[in-house]
Structure formats: C-alpha cells, structure tokens
Amino acid sequence: MKNLFVALFLALFLGACSAEKAVLVTINNNSTLIRSNEMIEIGYDSVVSVLTLPAGKSIVVEGPNGKQVPYQIVYEGKKEPQKIIFLATIGSKGNATYKIKQGTPEPMKCKAYGRIVKERKDDICWENDRIAFRTYGPALEATGEITNAYDIWVKRTKDTVINKRYRKELVDHISYHKDNGDGMDNYTAGRTLGAGAMAPYFNDTIVLAKNWITCELLDNGPLRISFRMTYAPFQVGENLVEETRFISLDAGSQLNKVIDTYKNLPEGALVAAGIVKHQGMDEFMAESNGGYACYADPIVNPEDGQTFIATVFPHPVKEIKAEACGHCLSITNDKGEAGNVYYFGAGWTKWGFEDSAKWYEYVQNFSERLRSPLVVSISK
C-alpha cells in the first residue's frame, strides 16, 4: 500500500511539473521607438522540444501581465509547422518576457485573411485589420485585362471585408468603388506597377510581366496571410525571365512583405519597385539610404479621402527616381536566388492618417524598425 501511495505521488508530481513547463521568450528593444504590436517569430521545433508537447495538445502564449495573447502556428506551405508568431509591445529601450506553455487558447479573432476569388476572374484579394489589397489572375487576362500590379482596397474597420464587398458587388450590385461604411476601392492600377509591384529595370525601362499563372495560399490567419504567385516567362533583353512572388501581410501592419525572385536575369541586373503616378501628382518623399519612397495619390473626390502609398527596402537602394516611366521608382540590384526583399503598402486619410505627414512618419518609423530589429531570445 505504501508503494502505491508513493507511485501516485510521483505520478501527480511529475504531471504537475510537465504542465508547468514553459518557454520564456525575452524581447529586447534597443531602439528609442516604442515597438507597438510588432510580430515576433519563434521556431516551432524549439518550443515543442522544450514543452515535449503530446500529440493533439495545444499551446498558449501569455504576455508579461499573465494574460493570453493571440498567436498563429505558421506552416509557410509545408506539411509541418515552421514558426509560432504573436504580437508584442516593447517600450523604448525596454524589454519584456512572454511565456509559451501547454494550455487551451482563448478564441482568436481573425485579423488576416485572403482567398482566390474565382467568381471575380481569379482575383487574389487579401487583408488585415488595417488595409486590403488585390492582384490579378489568368481569368482576367483572358478578357484582355493584363496587369501584374498591386491594387489597394482602403478600409476603416478592423473586421474582414473581402467577402462582404464581393458579395455586394457581384450579387447585390452595390459597388465597392463607393464607401458604403467600411471603406472602398478608390485606386486605379491598370497596366502599371500600381501600389508597389516590382519589375526588371532594363535600358531605363520597366519590363512588366503579365497576370499570375499560379497562386498558392500558404497561411491564412488569424495573424498572417501569405501566398506565392508565379508568372509566365517574359522577355527581358535577350533573356527569358521567370518571376515568383512571395507575399505576406501581418495583423496591424500597413505594409506587406515581398520576396520577389527572378530566374535568368543577368548577374547584377537592375530591378525596381514602383508606385504609379496618377495625373502628374508630385507629392513625394524618398530617402535612398533609408530605402523608402512615399507618394500621395491625387484626390479625385474629397468625400473619398486620400490614399498614400509606400515601398520600403530593408537596405539602401541604388537610386530613387521621382519620375521614371510614369512611376516613382526605387531601383536596386537584383539579389538572384536569394530574392529581392522589400515592403509595400498604403494608408488612408479616413482611417489612421489624417495627412501625408502622418503617413511619412509611419513609413520612416517602419524603415527604422527594419534597421533595428527586436532581439529575441528563448529559455526554459
């Protein structure tokens, strides 16, 4: 009987110890900026190896106050989990510790979402709790509308709007080109780079691909939407070039991350991320060393507000041209197989950015955050 009590005690003790296992994530902010709602990435294997997570069991992420924070397990198109991501806020020159442990997560609201809209000629449309975008597929190209540009859907709600807007447009015949309470599509992309797409820059000219031919969703919320597009080979000088774009958008961010990869461009070739200039609008701010270019789109209807666009590179660029091929172009050398990493996105006067100065400040801060990343370490 004594041995039975000892065995029961040890089982309960070991079970309690197992339940108490946790991974501590310490985040240091070495910059003077307040890092509000910034996405943190942790390798999935490094967490579950410490927790020895049984099959079918879930985790929770707790903030410094002990309360749960939303998280997402990211697959990046692979069969096995790759990362755990969550949003953290760290004060200027400060630090904070978050805890990951076994538990039952609280319900999480979807803050990042996207889908291929077959009923609207293969649009890929995606959004977060701040902004929405789309680009165009093969069914639209078949009608003669050829573009690999990025389009903007401004919004003024934290809720997802994609499905509602397409339903209203296609079923109820209520145009999403008017602000019906949550925002609108008031941007014109056309046969350009639109709101920040990239193209080879050859002989002082941007060389545009056509619409995407394949699109694969890799992750779909609640905190990150990511997908990969491929394009049919197109001629750049004497080279037949292939392009692949990887795009991800995180909750809380105005800007998408892009990895744009070209196959068969000559070594050292130039590429450019561009923002189309509408009606000769000249309000523009750029810093080649900072890697960013900002543009204020012209106001067509004052009731629709004004849209602001930006491209941001995590490194200095070779040159920024305020006027080239009808665009504001950020020009850099192609990075080959590693891909060209940069960010593009938009803001709106009717939600969050009352004027261009506020947008420029946001973009400058975004650039500074890229150059002073948070330092993340994990421990038991």
Position 1 scores a pLDDT of: 45
3-state secondary structure 257-305: EEEEEEECCCCCCEEEEEEECCCCCCCEEEECCCCEEEEECCCCCHHHC
Q: What is the pLDDT of residues 6-47, one digit of tens each?
A: 444 444 444 444 456 899 999 999 999 999 999 999 999 999
Query: Is residue 81 helix, strand or coil?
Result: coil
Cβ(161)–Cβ(131) below 8 Å: no
Nearest alpha-carbon partner for 168 in 157, 183, 151, 154: 183
Task: Return the amino acid letter for 375.
Answer: V
**Bridge partners, 257 (sequence order):** 248, 343
Whether pLDDT at 218 is above 50:
yes
Whether pLDDT at 56 is above 80:
no
**Bridge partners, 113 (sequence order):** 127
Position 12 scores a pLDDT of: 42
For the CA atoms of 134, 135, 137, 143, what is the dihedral angle to 10 degrees?
100
Q: How far apart are CA 138 and CA 197, in angstroms?
A: 18
- Name the pLDDT band for 53 (thresholds 50, 70, 90): confident
Mean pLDDT value across residues 202-206: 97
- Name the pLDDT band for 136 (thresholds 50, 70, 90): very high
Whether pLDDT at 121 is above 70:
yes
Mean pLDDT value across residues 238-245: 97
Task: Return the amino acid letter for 231.
Answer: Y
Cis-peptide, bond into residue 222, ω within 30° of zero? yes
Q: What is the pLDDT of residues 323-361, one digit of tens each?
A: 999 999 999 999 999 999 999 999 999 999 999 999 999
Task: Return the amino acid letter for 276.
Answer: V
- Name the pLDDT band for 52 (thresholds 50, 70, 90): confident
Position 88 scores a pLDDT of: 97
Write the CA distances from 228 to 92, 198, 217, 309, integer angstroms. Answer: 35, 15, 7, 22
What the block records as the tokens of 220 is 């779909």
Position 13 scores a pLDDT of: 43
- Domain topology for 16-105: Immunoglobulin-like (2.60.40)
Mean pLDDT value across residues 63-71: 96
What the block records as the tokens of 203 is 């002989």
Q: Could you state, in order of their start, the residue ranges of all structural domains in the chain?
A: 16-105, 112-371
What does the DSSP assignment read for 117-156? EGGGTTEEEEEESSEEEEE--HHHHTTT-----BEEEEES
- Domain topology for 112-371: Beta-galactosidase; Chain A, domain 5 (2.70.98)
- Name the pLDDT band for 380 (thresholds 50, 70, 90): confident
Position 169 scores a pLDDT of: 96
